[in-house]
Amino acid sequence: MATSLPKTKVGIIGTGAISGAYFDGLKLYSNIEVSACADLDTARAKSVAEKYGIAKACSVEELLADKEIQIVINLTIPKAHAPVNMQILNAGKHAYCEKPFATNKDEGQKVLDLAKLKNLFVGCAPDTYMGPGQQLARKLLDDGFIGQPIGGVCNMICHGHESWHPSPEFYYEVGGGPLFDMGPYYINALINLLGPVKRVTSSAQTSFAERTITSQPKHGKVVKVETPTHISAVLDFHNGCVISMLMTFDVWGSTLPNIELYGTGGSMSIPDPNGTGGVVKLSRPGTDGWHSVPHLHADCGFRGFGVADMAAAIHLKRTPRMANELGFHALDVMQSILEASEQGRHIEIKSTCPRPKAVPAGMRQGQVD
């Protein structure tokens, strides 16, 4: 399970709903020690610290002043991602934040510029494309099992999060919606498979002006919708592949696939990137229908690999797989999709990023290379 890498001390800012996935996921990695957590709700931070055995619950200022902490994980709400990342970088620490990278490109660019100035890393979730499902798809594609990829589809279809999330308002604010909330899973997965995006176009709409929360403790509260909730986009990649993307919080049910890729030598069915596992299937000339392919990679946990890989990169003096440019490129693609609908045209993507290095097959769970 372990690697020989030394432990890197990590702090977490924000102890809301997603934090549990990080506390659990990071336990898999012996090169990570979560030594402190902070939240505007100090009682919640203390409760979470006690639950997960974290040594210190403290204020954000105390956490950032801790000289032993090298990486700070930013789990605040989307509109706070960029400002908190700036605080982290200004404190001389590497930042790793929940998606999206920021709520707009201008904020995101300031974070990138500061990280470069400080010679620090800033990573951005999700890292689920490092899991066995997506990495198997990557290996099959790289090994030529469907030939040259020419097209594909990806679909994220649900009716929103107000039925289960305890505080779902931010999903319907600017920086939320299906594109900024769930899009990073799909866009990161596609960049892992195909590399960076060249241009986009789209149509987007807000189907419901208001949403009513049916979860507890805010049952019955009416939320104004401030961002598009049904987006149909086309993404042209630099490698020539064209992907049709549907992102919606407005649909009750569907039988559409999560991701399918079509190549000159076959097709591949790829599992939901909002997870690390799932079944990968191939359909190729001369075969009868779809055939599943067994995993070659260990499960990396729902959240954790990206942080552990950053810690390894710091120690080994290499670039993390989730390098600074990846999160910004995904943000650029998402904002450009919305702008393309508003402006009624294709938009060329000015940013780019390296295709993330593949995870070697055969590594044990909790191992980073």
Is 352 part of any domain?
no
Q: What is the pLDDT along the chain (369 residues), one digit of tens a residue?
A: 344 789 999 999 999 989 999 999 999 999 999 999 999 999 999 999 999 999 999 999 999 999 999 999 999 999 999 999 999 999 999 999 999 999 999 999 999 999 999 999 999 999 999 999 999 999 999 999 999 999 999 999 999 999 999 999 989 998 889 999 999 999 999 999 999 999 999 999 999 999 999 999 999 999 999 999 999 999 999 999 999 999 999 999 999 999 999 999 999 999 999 999 999 999 999 999 999 999 999 888 889 999 999 999 999 999 999 888 999 999 999 999 999 999 999 999 999 999 999 999 988 888 888
Which residue's entry shows tokens 């890393």? Answer: 121
Kindly state whether residues 79 and 13 are assigned to the same domain: yes
* 354 assigned to some structural domain: no
| DSSP character string of 197-241 | EEEEEEEEE-S-SEEE--SSSSTT-EEE--S--EEEEEEEETTS-
Question: Alpha-carbon distance 350 to 28, whole Å?
Answer: 37
Q: For residue 97, what are the domain limits? A: 8-127+302-324
- On whether residue 336 sits in a domain, the answer given is no
CB 202 within 8 A of CB 340: yes
d(CA 125, CA 170): 17
Same domain, 138 and 259: yes
Residues 39 and 150 in one domain: no
Q: Are residues 284 and 167 in the same domain?
A: yes
Query: Residue 342, class by beta-carbon neighbours within 10 Å (0-12 exposed, 13-18 middle, 19+ buried)?
Result: exposed
25 and 41 fall within a common domain: yes
Q: Among 241, 272, 293, identify where a domain stops.
A: 293
Give CA–CA dist 216/306, Å, rounded: 32
> What residues pair up with 248 in beta bridges, in sequence order?
157, 230
Return the pLDDT at 4. Answer: 78
Query: So what's the pLDDT on residue 59?
Result: 95
Q: Are residues 13 and 123 in the same domain?
A: yes
In this structure, the answer to whether residues 54 and 36 fall within a common structural domain is yes
Q: Are residues 101 and 174 in the same domain?
A: no
The total number of structural domains that make up the chain: 2
Q: Is residue 143 part of a domain?
A: yes
Residues 15, 108: one domain? Answer: yes
Q: What is the CATH number of the domain that holds 95?
A: 3.40.50.720
The answer on 318 and 284 residing in a single domain is no
Predicted local confidence at residue 362, as pLDDT: 86
* 262 and 171 housed in the same domain: yes
Beta strands in the chain (DSSP E): 8-13, 32-38, 56-58, 71-74, 94-97, 122-124, 149-157, 197-205, 210-212, 222-224, 230-237, 242-248, 259-263, 266-270, 280-283, 291-293, 347-348
Residue 261: which CATH number? 3.30.360.10
The answer to whether residue 28 sits within a structural domain is yes
Whole-number pLDDT of residue 2 = 40
Q: What is the pTM of this model?
A: 0.93
pLDDT at 144: 98
In a domain, 335, yes or no: no
Domain assignment present for residue 202? The answer is yes
Query: Are residues 44 and 173 located together in one domain of the fold?
Result: no
Round to whole Å and give the CA distance between 269 and 273: 12
